[in-house]
Amino acid sequence: MKPIIPLIIAWLSFPCFSQNINIELFSSGLSNPVNVKHAGDDRLFVAERAGVIKIINADGTLETTPFLNVNSIVTNNGGEQGLLAIAFHPDYTTNGYLFVNYIANNGDTVISRFTRNSISTADPNSELVFMNISQPYSNHNGGDMHFGTDGYLYISTGDGGSGGDPENRSQNLTSHLGKLLRIDIDNPVIGGLNYSIPADNPFIGNAVGTKQEIWAYGLRNPWKWSFDRDTGDIWIADVGQNQIEEINMVTSGSAAVNYGWRCYEGNDTYNTANCPSVSTLTFPVAQYTHSNDGAFKCSITGGYRYRGTEQPTLEGFYFFADYCSDEIGYVQGDGMNFNLTFIEDFGSDGFSAFGEDLAGELYIAGLNSGIIYKIIDADLSVNEQILFNIKIYPNPVKDSLNLDFRNTTHVIKEINIFNLHGKLVKSISKPNSTITTFSTKEMQNGLYLIEINAENGSKKTSKFIKQ
């Protein structure tokens, strides 16, 4: 089995509790991953921006043969184009239907379906197109989608691009852009579209020209969003214009929601010309500014609310990241009382997407590194902390790093040092039981992780900086 290597640890403190979060290297070798989904089994499927979908097995190994390669019909010019999202039909095990959201060579959004031809490959010649959405500019493509528990396909779209939504498409119900769309892909219109409009979509019967696929509107660039698997609530991270990144949440079944763009950016006014009453708008449950504490921020990557079982202390946390600062954060709370907390930055990966496996465990994709990490709770119990009680100094380090084992009750089996990309750079087996010294002279400056493994299977991880 491929080892799962802890990469970086972040220490987090709160007035009411403290929490350690780790991200562990789960799989590597991908190119510009932008979407991570499961298909009802223990594998993960990763969409690469160039138009390739690859499979990660349960042990983290990457299948060498792509599941689907549609590079020839996908354009990925610029950072917001490409194959943006995948979604597996609720009955995928039986019908083998995979849905994709990509930017075609003409620059427009395409929502289409491919069919599996084996457990590990899909047929690139099986495409059935459901929607073509004209894109006036090359940015703000939104581009995520999920099936709801109602069996319908929900699709997020950006406002069409440029800046400031110059044609006010997001508020315009005759445009598919800046919306959350909802379609029935199982009951196509006879002699017409390959899908139909669910009977309870909110704008059926509105004025001529209204796009009846619209479920919600007033979005700028909902790059990633998700359903809470326990409640069905919708969580949308909407990328801001100049200053504010926002997180929206509405309860399951909420329709005709207007999230407010371009009238508002977060809770602040942006352009209120010809806008509806503020009482009709739904404002974010959490937001942050680009100059919020710490590193410069620019673009939110939405994630999931943790509903797995392996990390019980993370229950109910909604995880997100910022693409520029490489910070991972979370929103915690219930009802309308939510608190947003940033952990610390995790290097320079450019986090592009979160993923949720069949069991509800969470993953995060590094666009720049091509690495998929698993999010874990790194808290040691009080007893474990006492048992380890290992001093690591100095930190930052220049020429040598010392590990003092004199106060630990563990028998140390091995010490490993990994660089930012999870590559093993140093290893010592059965180190000295008192003080062990690593030479760091030949190591490049940067952030490293040290992993200490005990004979009884216990493990301690910490980070240090080489200057």
Q: Extract the tokens encoding 422.
A: 């999870």
Distance CA 373, CA 363 (A): 5
All residues at 6 or more sequence positions from 191 whose CB lies less than 8 Å from its CB, including other chains: none
Residues 358 and 423 in one domain: no
Domain enclosing residue 353, as ranges: 5-377
With beta carbons less than 8 A apart as the criterion, state whether 440 and 400 touch: yes
| 117-126 contacts at long range (C-beta below 8 A, 24 or more positions apart) | 120/55, 120/63, 120/65, 120/67, 121/65, 121/66, 121/67, 121/68, 122/53, 122/67, 122/68, 122/96, 122/98, 124/68, 124/69, 124/70
Residues 185 and 309 in one domain: yes
At which of 337, 358, 377 does a domain end? 377
What is the torsional sign of CA 7, 54, 85, 99?
negative
Residues 191 and 45 in one domain: yes
With beta carbons less than 8 A apart as the criterion, state whether 135 and 103 touch: yes
Q: Given this model, what pLDDT does residue 434 score? A: 79
Distance CA 422, CA 370 (A): 11
* Segment holding 330, helix H or strand E: strand 327-334
Residues 339 and 393 in one domain: no
What pTM was estimated for this model as a whole?
Answer: 0.81
At which of 377, 393, 414 does a domain end? 377
Residues 107 and 139 in one domain: yes
What is the torsional sign of CA 350, 317, 178, 40?
positive
Beta strands 327-334; 318-322: pairing state:
antiparallel
Residues 120 and 138 in one domain: yes
All residues at 6 or more sequence positions from 199 whose CB lies less than 8 Å from its CB, including other chains: none
With beta carbons less than 8 A apart as the criterion, state whether 75 and 81 touch: yes
Structural domains counted in the chain:
2
392: β partners: 403
CATH number for 13:
2.120.10.30
pLDDT per residue of the chain (467 residues) written in tens, 0 to 9: 233 333 333 332 223 343 567 788 899 999 999 999 999 999 999 999 999 999 999 999 999 999 999 999 999 886 789 999 999 999 999 999 999 999 999 999 999 999 999 999 999 999 999 999 999 999 999 989 999 999 999 999 999 999 999 999 999 999 999 999 999 999 999 888 999 999 999 999 999 999 999 999 999 999 999 999 999 999 999 999 989 999 999 999 999 999 999 999 999 999 999 999 999 999 999 999 999 878 899 999 999 999 998 888 899 999 999 999 999 999 998 777 899 999 877 777 899 999 999 999 999 999 999 999 999 886 543 344 444 677 777 777 888 888 887 877 778 888 888 886 678 888 888 787 678 888 898 888 877 878 888 888 777 777 777 87
Q: Extract the tokens encoding 4.
A: 């799962």
At which of 377, 394, 419 does a domain end? 377
Residue showing tokens 């093993």: 424
CATH number for 390:
2.60.40.1930
Cis-peptide into 394, omega within 30 deg: yes
Beta strands 244-250; 257-258: pairing state:
unpaired
Q: Given this model, what pLDDT does residue 109 score? A: 98
* CA 282 remoteness from chain centre: 23
- According to DSSP, residue 382 is labeled H
Residues 183 and 310 in one domain: yes
The candidate with the shortest Cα–Cα distance to 28, out of 400, 418, 390, is 418
Distance CA 312, CA 10 (A): 18
Give the full edge-to-edge strand order of the sheet including 412-418.
424-429, 412-418, 446-454, 459-466
Residues 43 and 128 in one domain: yes
Residues 186 and 261 in one domain: yes
* CA 126 remoteness from chain centre: 28
Q: Extract the tokens encoding 441.
A: 């002279």
Q: Is 145 left (phi over 0), alpha (psi -120 to 50) or beta?
A: beta
Residues 243 and 358 in one domain: yes
The candidate with the shortest Cα–Cα distance to 379, out of 19, 69, 129, is 19
Distance CA 340, CA 321 (A): 11
Amino acid identity of residue 239, one-letter, is: V
Residues 397 and 296 in one domain: no
Residues 246 and 387 in one domain: no
How many helices (H) does the chain have, and how many strands (E)? 2, 35
